[in-house]
Amino acid sequence: MAAPVLFHHPSSLEHDPGPHPERPARITAIETALAARDWLGFERRESPEATRAQLEAVHPARHINGIQELCAAGGGMIDQDTVVSEGSWGAALHSAGGAAAMVDALLGDGGVRVGASVHRPPGHHAEVGRAMGFCLFNNVAVAARRARDEHGVGRVLVLDWDVHHGNGTQDVFYDSDEVLFCSIHEWPLYPGTGAEGETGTGPGEGFTINMPVPSGTGDDGFCSLVEHVVAPAARAYGPGLILVSAGYDAHHDDPLASCRVTDGGYATMATSVRALADGLGVPVGIVLEGGYELGALARGFTATLEVAGGPGPFGAPSVEEHPLATAALERLRAGSPLLG
């Protein structure tokens, strides 16, 4: 197996929102931790900028131009949470471009099976026509569309374990079966979307699986939802690529939410994902989203890459079925095209 690859770019440090939890030190913390572990065997590559066509596969030109113009004018506020500086434009282009280049590495003929895209700003709150929630372009959506447009992969699983609902990714793929979007998120919490009943529309009906969890949910809930709900749904779906919107703000130390996932919980979820990918014979790409306590972020991300990029092959982890998973399975069996 070819070495796993990690895409990054120094422009991630140039996106300056001022005093803000989504700050450059997040990248420094992750990279310092990975460097201390010799990058866990990942081959590092410098991310290219996303091309205009890659961005326009997800966002309309007016959205892209609006961000470009605001950055060129020196920056400013898009909403109360989402602030850009002059350097945000380059950072955002490389953040989306890194995710797309990761997909090229995973689906090209180099034999790479595991990739990571480590950038900021994050992307999963960015809707088709709207930047919000610290996110400018939807990096994981750009990656999924790249899989389809450049590599002919018509089915992609996106697992979003960031503690916030990935409203942007849901928005991009809500009416399509080209992505099976599975999100585990604290509820109620920002941005307020992601109810169980939001399951997709038209040809996308049943291809959005929202798993809201109450405040205080820890490893037992998160890991069981991945192993007992996401994994079987994904096996029924049969994706050609697995992408993870990997946020670390469900960690018990994170200041922005109140779930209680541990470093070990992220390792267990990564084990489920890697076992799923090995079983399906498809590659895995990890795309960084949120996570605002620097130590928890660095440890959680390192734990994820240590498992995801490990030599394998991996079997499914031993996880007890949690009542949240039992309830989600009952809902899906009642109406899902995948588990019905």
- Region from 94-102, 241-249, 261-269, 295-303 binding Zn ion, contact rule CB under 5 A: 241-249
Cis peptide upstream of residue 188 (ω within 30 degrees of 0): yes
Say which residues have a Cβ less than 8 Å from residue 202's Cβ, sequence separation at least 6: 175
Shortest Å distance, C-beta 135 to Zn ion: 10
Q: Which residue of the set 9, 94, 119, 125 is catalytic? A: 125
320-329: burial string, b at 16+ Cβ within 10 Å, e else = eebebbeebb
The nearer residue to Zn ion, 147 or 297, going by C-beta atoms, is 297
43 bridge partner residues: 5
Is residue 177 within 8 Å of residue 207, measured between CB atoms? yes
Shortest Å distance, C-beta 291 to Zn ion: 7
For tokens 């990975």, what's the residue? 34
Shortest Å distance, C-beta 249 to Zn ion: 4
Question: Considering CB under 5 A, how many residues would be counted as binding Zn ion?
Answer: 5
The nearer residue to Zn ion, 168 or 290, going by C-beta atoms, is 290
Per CB under 5 A, the list member of 9, 164, 299, 331 interacting with Zn ion is: 164
DSSP state of 178: S
Cα–Cα distances in Å, from 150 out to 103, 139, 144, 196, 245? 9, 16, 10, 33, 21
C-beta nearest to Zn ion: residue: 290
Q: CA 118, CA 105: separation in Å to the nearest integer?
A: 15
Shortest Å distance, C-beta 86 to Zn ion: 25
Residue type, 64: I
Q: Is 282 helix (H, G, I), strand (E, B) or coil?
A: coil
- Comparing CA positions, the residue from 320, 337, 107, 306 lying closest to residue 233 is 337
Shortest Å distance, C-beta 325 to Zn ion: 22
The nearer residue to Zn ion, 113 or 164, going by C-beta atoms, is 164
Q: Is 287 helix (H, G, I), strand (E, B) or coil?
A: strand
User: Which 289-308 residues touch Zn ion, going by CB under 5 A?
Assistant: 290
Which helix (H) or strand (E) segment holds residue 141: the answer is helix 139-151
Strands of 122-252, DSSP E: 156-160, 179-186, 208-213, 241-246
Shortest Å distance, C-beta 339 to Zn ion: 27
**249 is a contact residue toward Zn ion (CB under 5 A):** yes
Which helix (H) or strand (E) segment holds residue 169: the answer is helix 167-173
- Region from 52-60, 78-86, 152-160, 248-256 binding Zn ion, contact rule CB under 5 A: 248-256
**254 is a contact residue toward Zn ion (CB under 5 A):** no
Report the residue count for the chain.
340
Residue type, 100: A
User: Which 123-162 residues touch Zn ion, going by CB under 5 A?
Assistant: 162
**49 is a contact residue toward Zn ion (CB under 5 A):** no
Per-residue x/- mask for Zn ion, residues 178 to 217, rule CB under 5 A? ----------------------------------------
User: Which 273-292 residues touch Zn ion, going by CB under 5 A?
Assistant: 290
The nearer residue to Zn ion, 172 or 250, going by C-beta atoms, is 250
Cα–Cα distances in Å, from 121 out to 191, 251, 337? 17, 20, 34
Per CB under 5 A, the list member of 115, 221, 247, 265 interacting with Zn ion is: 247
Asked if 63 is an active-site residue, the reply is no
- Region from 80-88, 220-228, 239-247, 267-275 binding Zn ion, contact rule CB under 5 A: 239-247
Shortest Å distance, C-beta 321 to Zn ion: 26
- The residues annotated as belonging to the active site are 125
Residues in contact with Zn ion by the rule CB under 5 A: 162, 164, 247, 249, 290
